[in-house]
Structure 1
């Protein structure tokens, strides 16, 4: 896992631009603490920061072809690189390293931009083809690895993270109404970004950049196919796919672990990893908890059960070396931690509870990195197998909007109400829904619940899941930790997407298909455990400290976030700080994140 960046200019000689190239590269030192490199030719400059995972000595980048005309800067992991290497050797290619990076380079030399269709993994890569004087950008199928770009008058800038592009003097630091809609809307529209003029490469797409402009090609997308397997075969196929996926994703030359909450998704990954490792070693696993939860756990609708007992039961069953990372309010409210989180994300990600959740994830990853460099997680199973409540309650399935936005919109109107009205957030969400509906691949004649659940699955995979993947990537890479997501393997996604809803909910339970596929792996208590959300701290001290910081912020006449806040609320809090208690914790946390972001990045608001 790494950080990549590049600059192409068809009208300038970039060989004297090493300082700018290095500045762009340096912004992503956290993504690649093990090594760095730059490569510059007449019209192109590449930068790379490396987190060494496979072939520690041989995988240095940027990597250049034997003739010196093709260069690669690559982030991610290719899980089928061994098979590809064998095929390429059969076609006459010679290799000097054991790295997947060299396989990607030779795959391009053999198949050109169509290497994308052959890669199984999570990846973002830039290739300079000196024979064609063309830049090729490729992003993995579902968007596990980020890749941004900024077109210029004479070329293009690109990077794993916006901060690298912003290190270039040509980049625009403006956030306009469209950018604020992306932040507040709760919808990650494919390709859209928050900073003006800086979109993402759409997952499953290849961009070719030449003197003639930019050509965007889709190499993968979800398609609708008739599912002909019976239930028994479907259950067996899901199990076979998961087993193969986890086996592949255990490839590493550095310490590896799993995230284990004690829920169905992460427990499955941990149990499969333990089986694959066998007697060679004990799989390491980690979970996060909070001091107040340990002392006095109080169940609620989102958190009906406490993670710790279930996680420990799974760890004991599979023989995992398990660690509970316990966090307290004192460390979660450190200003330096908030700054590190905002810097990692590049802009605040708004999900209910996102402030404290982002901070706890960052601290969890920081603790894991002390013992492991790679971790496997259960992310994306809910989107794929239908685990969220939104799939199961009629009030969500018949709304005519992206289902999670109903919950997302609650609790932000006190502090941000005038702003949301000014940027027409409801109109933005309606348009996002309309575009998503138009995209959904359906079977001819499909109607009723099957059609609706197919639509929902598509929305969650292409709109909701990508927000979670973005957050997971940025917060983990900020501490040099690689997170792998087995449920995002495109083969599993393609198969389960086309599985009838009746099979997905077999047994009358959410994720019934997944439960059936792993019955022999997990304790009965975990197999029957209800869906439980990511844990959050309920310590009153956290809310008190955050509100105190918020009141201090509003006391400043020059606070950067002031133009985005409700003036009436600002006046009320300045006159009586105790009135801040009427605001939700999420919006107070988010206001602090926004202010830190605008000031840290020296942004211009154009609304």
Structure 2
């Protein structure tokens, strides 16, 4: 795992400033503390920060082909690189390293930008083709590895993190994007391809971007999409056999490394399956790492210990306390964008814990999106069934006004929140699911924004991010539509961002075998009725592995990796919220309406309402603004440095 950055100019003769290029690499040095490498020539510059995992002595980058005319910097792992290596050697290509990176330049010589079709792994890379004056940027199918891009009429800048682009220096006209800010308030993160800063975008998953100097221009292309067409021919038993075989193959592929490999272990189904299969393939007891809480309702440590005992792992754990919120400023640095998924805190801590013992860990990310594990799927499937029985005119004319008039009661369990259910039933399916995903819903969302920023939004609708992937699923299959939306939006822009930034902050590589694209393709073909069955999520996945795991790992209620933000904001974080969010001198005052935020906070602290997730998002936004924005709300590049 590494960090990459660089640039290409429209003018092939324009010199590249090596000091600026080094600054871009230094900004992401935490991603690759073991080595740095550069390519500097007229019109183009590449920089690489290395975390040594494979070919420890020979894998420094950039790496070129035989004559050096094609060069690449790479972040990630290619799990089928040995097969590709043998094939290319058979075609006469000569290799000078044993690294997975070198296969990219030789595979490019054979296939051009179609090389991505052959890659099985997680990756973001930049490949410079000198004879053609072409820079190729690529990102893996699921978006496990990040890549930010800035483009204008004279240059393209790129980097694994936003801070690498900003470190290039002055001359970038960048300010907070009001639409991205509303997206953040809606979901707690900024869905791609936007970033929080107007002018910098994320290269979407499963895309390549080609930048050419003659004629100057860029072209972006999607090379893969997950097809949710179900296959009704196999029996459940046959699906279970196929799942077991593919998961086992994926875990074994993800264990390939020249350093020890450990695993995150929550005690839930997905991480337990990965640990079980990883233990089978390990010559010695693997290392496992868990995080828990003093609040027993949030802690899974007892379950993680049972799994660790079952498979004889060398287990380490840590308890998270409210003072962990002191990490907010550190998280603001590493995440670059405001990021309100509160599980970033325990993820950051478990990554720090794991890095003390290993350089690489496996995770259970992806199992819920592949096999239908989240509670919201079951709840929204019930809503979809009711919606399908009601005429559209009735939903719009009767349920819509009733939902708006119904009192808000966030303190009730979700099944009793009639306002939420009525709202969703009145909406079309894609908008209803976007509403289910939202932390902060209209009209509160726009009331929380500073008036000038809200006025600039026009007809912007954060739900539009959900619309296209939702519509890509087969008609009449609401679970497939929800999974499609999660794979396209929630997974790459929330969960995978969280894991990437939290782990790379400590120079730790996290590999998610359940996000192997071949496994995801297999899961997408399984009919929805075998994923959520009689109200039970991940039915087929549980049946595939229930004989391999402790019963508690398979059959207990799913528990999210959450922190008790409601209680913390009423107690140990109260003073921090007041000083960060409500102080008129705070930089966040340029982004939000502080009186509205103050009333919401008072309502929460009094116990009359429960607004913890929205208030946490405001606290994170405030700490981000304090670190990254100058007094007029623009990005201050120097503030993205340590």
TM, length-normalised to structure 1: 0.89
Aligned match of 1:409 in 436, 439, 447? Answer: 439
Report the more deviating stretch, 237-246 or 499-508: 499-508
2:66 corresponds to which residue? 66
In the TM superposition, residue 387 of structure 1 has moved relative to its aligned partner by 0.7
Q: Does 1:215 align with 2:201?
A: no
Preserved contact between residue 230 and residue 527 of structure 2 (Cα < 8 Å): no
Aligned to 1:231: 236
Question: How big is the shift at 1:542?
Answer: 6.8
The answer to whether the 8 Å contact 2:16/2:42 transfers is no
Name the CA shift for 1:415/1:198 in 2 (closer, same or farther; >3 Å).
closer
Alignment of 1:79-118 (within 5 A): 79-118=79-118
Residue of 335, 343, 349 corresponding to 2:339: 349
In structure 2, the CA distance between the partners of 1:426 and 1:165, relative to structure 1 (3 Å rule), is: same
Corresponding residue of 2:31: 31
Conserved 8 A contact 1:188-1:463: no
Tell me if structure 1 keeps the 8 A contact 2:34–2:49: yes
- Give the root-mean-square deviation of aligned CA atoms: 2.8
CA contact (8 A) 1:255 1:373 kept: yes
Distance 1:159 1:16, change over 3 A: closer
- In structure 1, the gaps of 5 or more residues are none
Partner of 1:78: 78
Residues 196-275 of structure 1 aligned to structure 2 (within 5 Å): 196-211=198-213, 212=215, 213-227=217-231, 228-275=233-280
Aligned to 1:464: 490
1:75 to 1:543, Cα distance in 2 relative to 1, 3 A = farther
Q: Deviations over 1:104-158 (max 9, x none)?
A: 2221122211110000000000001001000001110010000111112222001
- Structure 2 counterpart of 1:322, from 301, 312, 315: 315
The alpha-carbon distance between structure 1 residues 527 and 555, as it changes in their structure 2 partners (threshold 3 A), is closer
Residue segments in structure 2 that go unaligned for 5+ positions in a row: 388-423, 635-642
What are the within-5 Å matches in structure 2 for residues 262-411 of structure 1? 262-277=267-282, 280-290=283-293, 292-293=294-295, 297-298=296-297, 306-330=299-323, 332-334=324-326, 337-351=327-341, 354=342, 357-393=343-379, 394=381, 396-397=383-384, 398=387, 399=424, 400=429, 401=431, 403=433, 405-406=435-436, 408-410=438-440
Residue matched to 2:392: none
CA 1:579 to 1:516, structure 2 compared with 1: closer, same or farther past 3 Å?
Answer: closer
1:346 is displaced (CA, Å) by 0.7
The residue number in structure 2 matching 1:548 is 575
Q: 1:596 to 1:207 in 2, by over 3 A?
A: same
In 2, are the aligned partners of 1:205 and 1:219 still within 8 Å (CA)? yes
Deviation at 1:95, TM superposition (A): 1.3
Q: Secondary structure at the match of 1:312?
A: helix
Counterpart-to-counterpart distance in 2, 1:185 and 1:248: 37
| Aligned positions, number | 581
The CA distance in 2 between the partners of 1:97 and 1:44, in whole Å, is 24
Report the Cα offset of residue 176 of structure 1.
Answer: 2.1
Deviations 1:456-485, CA, capped at 9 Å, x for gaps = 111111111122111111111111111111
**Gap change, CA 1:403 and 1:97, over 3 Å in 2:** same
Q: Distance in 1 between matches of 2:7 and 2:441?
A: 42
Question: 1:599 is matched with which residue?
Answer: 626
Distance 2:530 2:551 in 1: 20
2-side partners of 1:403 and 1:359: how far apart?
26
CA drift at 1:204: 0.8
After superposition, the C-alpha distances for 1:570-604 in whole angstroms (9 at most, x for unaligned) are 67799999879977343443333222322322355
1:498-577 to 2 correspondences below 5 Å:
498-505=525-532, 509-537=536-564, 543-553=570-580, 556-569=583-596
